[in-house]
Amino acid sequence: MKEIKNYPLLPHNTFGMDVKASVFVEYTSVAELKTVLSNKDYFRGSWLHIGGGSNLLFTGDYDGVIFHSAIRGYEVVRENDEEVEVRVGAGEVWDDFVAYSVKSGWYGAENLSLIPGEVGASAVQNIGAYGAEAKDLIVTVETVEMATGKERVFANAECRYAYRESIFKQELKGKYIVTYVTYRLSKLPVFNLEYGNVRGELEKKGCEVTLDNVRNTIIAVREIKLPDPKLQGNAGSFFMNPIVPRAQFEALQATYPDIPHYDLGGDRVKIPAAWMIDRCGWKGKQVGRAGVHNKQALVLVNCGGATGDEVIALSKQIQESVYRTFGVNISPEVNFI
């Protein structure tokens, strides 16, 4: 375990905000986490548990304690001819786990390639891309209750997963810390290639449908669309794709016949926020030191020296513009700290 005062958070937030935390505490095991939780001095003021910092926007120095997990490791806990279950430490880098799965010949995580962040956050945020979500793979989530230090294992159904949602972001927010996540992957070839035209990209390259090729194709597409945080600060997709009632979508479709959408069944239709932001003329636009990426309208970027408040001000302008044009509210996926 380590404790560092006046700790720079630049390496811990992909937006590249040059801010500091009063105290930074990192633990490497469940036992160390319990020791941390038993130290009441850490909790007398503000505190925050972070992962890779890919979903955070700091608006200034953090006057409190930042906690971070360094619990790592992979362990196969169940296996048969058709599937395998792997227990992964919350502090592992998510894309390292995806690479490990692909290298092992296990199917299911490849569509989630190159999503930034750590394993623990995957279970909290229910990360997703290209028609796949973490909830589709998660078997159990191991946690420690902050108030008592007791360990608790949540089955997938108990996590109440929904689009970019979980019980850890709602009723149990700030009450449990994720220590391990167990994922179930297939040993049989099962691919999800329709969302985002992954199949079309493979055919364009003349690639055989294999785990490696699907992963590499998704990485290539993401690298074209999304800026490297090391070169230009960003948090990936800044806004969530809104889900609207079917009647509202059909009214929009009458005005905008080319509006893309994803039918979720029943009365729900998902509309890509990026399409609406682009139609409002925001793609590539810069306001002060914050801007909208010129290749993906869903990504807000730090153009150099931007503050968190500048990025938030830009996001609000975009939200207002989309609502004026389409009558649809779009919500940030990023957490403002």
Q: Which residues are catalytic?
A: 164, 237, 333
Residues β-bridged to residue 85: 78, 184
The answer to whether the CB of 3 falls within 8 A of the CB of 289 is no
Q: Is 216 exposed, middle or buried (0-12, 13-18, 19+ CB in 10 A)?
A: middle
How far apart CA 113 and CA 132 sit, in angstroms, is 10
DSSP 171: T
- Give the DSSP per-residue string, 221-285: HHHHHS--TTTS-EEEE-BPPPEEEHHHHHHHHHH-TT---EE-STTEEE--HHHHHHHTT-TT-
Q: Which two tokens stand for residue 98?
A: 């995806």
Tokens 């630049």 belong to which residue?
10
Any residues with CB less than 8 A from the CB of 301 and at least 6 apart, and which? Answer: 227, 232, 233, 234, 290, 291, 292, 293
The alpha-helical segments, DSSP class H, found in the chain are 30-38, 94-104, 119-125, 198-205, 211-225, 246-255, 273-279, 308-326
Angle between helices 198-205 and 211-225 (to 10 degrees): 100
